Chain A
Amino acid sequence: MKDDQIIICRCEDGTLADVKDAIHRLGLRSVEEIKRVKRFGMGHCQGKTCGKLISQIISRELNISYEDMAPATTRQPAKAVSVKEFASYQEGN
């Protein structure tokens, strides 16, 4: 398969080619930056699956060991919850 056929983030249609472009042409060096500039990792999985893939690609492309890379910030909520459910929470429940 070609790089532009390998999907990395399905929510934003981000392919391997897009991630490589972000690294080499835009000079981005971390999952955090790629998330902000390309939105990969901002969709439903919130980076829980695609984030690891992106880390691996950066580590391979820039020759940084995977262990040395800063993990992306994980943000709450851990799972998507509706506005109504959040709103209905009462102190003491």
Chain B
Amino acid sequence: MNKKASVVIIGGGINGCALAYELAKKGVKDVMVIEKNFLASGSTGRCGGGFRQQWSTPMNIKFAMESVDIFSRLDEELQYKTEYYQGGYLILAYTPEEIRQFEKNVRLQREMGLDVRLIEPKECLKIVPDLNIDGVLGATYCKSDGHANPFYVTQAYAKKAKEMGVQFLLDTEVIAIDSHNDRITAVQTDKGKIMTDTVVNAAGGHAHLVSSMLGLDIPVKPYRHEILVTEPVNRIFDPMIISFHYHIYMRQELNGGILMGQGDPNEPSSFNVEGSFDFINQVCKKGMKIMPVLENISVVRQWAGLYAVTPDAQPILGPVPPFDNFIHIVGFSGHGFMLAPRVAQHITDYIVDNKLSDEIKNCSIDRFKNMDLDVDVNVV
């Protein structure tokens, strides 16, 4: 094992692997990714794989739009088939309040150049003929939203990064971080110590534990989110369908299986990633209401993963004081897959050129000092 690295990235999820690749691409040598299990074994491998640009805050919209642009070229750039697919996102409104919020969202999104529309229930049927529009007052639809396979995207980044010289230590856990005069000097793992002067915390649902190794208390908490998949069936619908009202989303994978997930807003924070019967019961009820044709399709697997949630549902990016060489890419609050490609580039600019972009400044941990947060309300 190398005893030295220029940059140590803790966490082999989409964020750690995308960053490793972007750093290598910029010519940074001796980058090391440390992952306690295997690649994508955390939230990334458990996630829905969706990318959407329909957000309610300018920052998330911009980030997501730029990420989609990268996603669309990723297969070619990384020479890997990631099952990238722009099937759109259809977000259903069931209450007048939702319609009002969606009008506001669409106005903002269109101002920022996104091709998105608020549509009537009847038009929803043109996009998803099997949709049950009972109670649906309208929906927003953006064609360029979509999904990719999270395992493949992670593998794609990691494989290319490896070819470019990045070292991946799997089955290796970071257990402590050494510092001296507010600078990190080394990372301790269960397999030995690595000297380094830049550490990136990309530990997903366990990020706050990694920060706490240096006595930092970051406002990121893990929450379980559950999801299931059905047997593969013929094509029924193209877009990801979301309802904030019912806290549910569903999409059909390219192989035909249908994913359905939901968050329980009342569940307390925990590291629990067990599937529950209550979830499967609830999500099947809601899923059948939204899409009655699902009723005879069999559920083959359920699982759960962690959302790493911050008080304003936006990530914490960049260095966390007092350490300017302890960089965080954490707290994605359930949308870290879709933002990762662009976030990795911003963080690379900081590590390589010491350049703090406006995006990173916006996502700095300092924002929690002032109370007037721009909370993104478009969260399932």
Contacts and interface: CB of A to CB of B under 8 A. Distances in A.
Contact of B297 (A37, A39, A42, A82): A82
A37 B155 contact: yes
A62 to B, nearest CB: 14
Nearest to A85: B284
B231 A87 contact: no
Nearest to B155: A37
Contact of A77 (B287, B296, B299): B299
B270 interface: no
Interface stretch (B87-95, B300-308, B359-367): B300-308
A32 B155 CA distance: 14
Given A32-B38, A46-B301, A75-B275, A84 B296 contact: yes
A30 interface: yes
Contacts of A86: 280-281, 284, 299
> Does more than half of chain A's interface fall in helix, strand or loop, or is it mixed?
loop
Contacts of B159: 26
Range of interface residues on chain B? 20 to 34
A10 interface: no
A16 B224 CA distance: 36
A43 B155 CA distance: 21
A22 to B, nearest CB: 11
A82 B298 contact: yes
Contact of B298 (A29, A81, A87): A81
B269 interface: no
A42 B295 contact: no
Nearest to A47: B301
B61 to A, nearest CB: 31
Interface in B138-162: 151-152, 155, 159
A83 B284 contact: yes
Nearest to B258: A83
Contact of B255 (A32, A36, A39): A39
Interface of A: 26, 29-30, 32-33, 36-37, 39, 42-44, 46, 75-77, 80-84, 86-87, 89
8 contacts: A43-B300, A76-B277, A76-B301, A80-B300, A84-B284, A87-B284, A87-B285, A87-B295
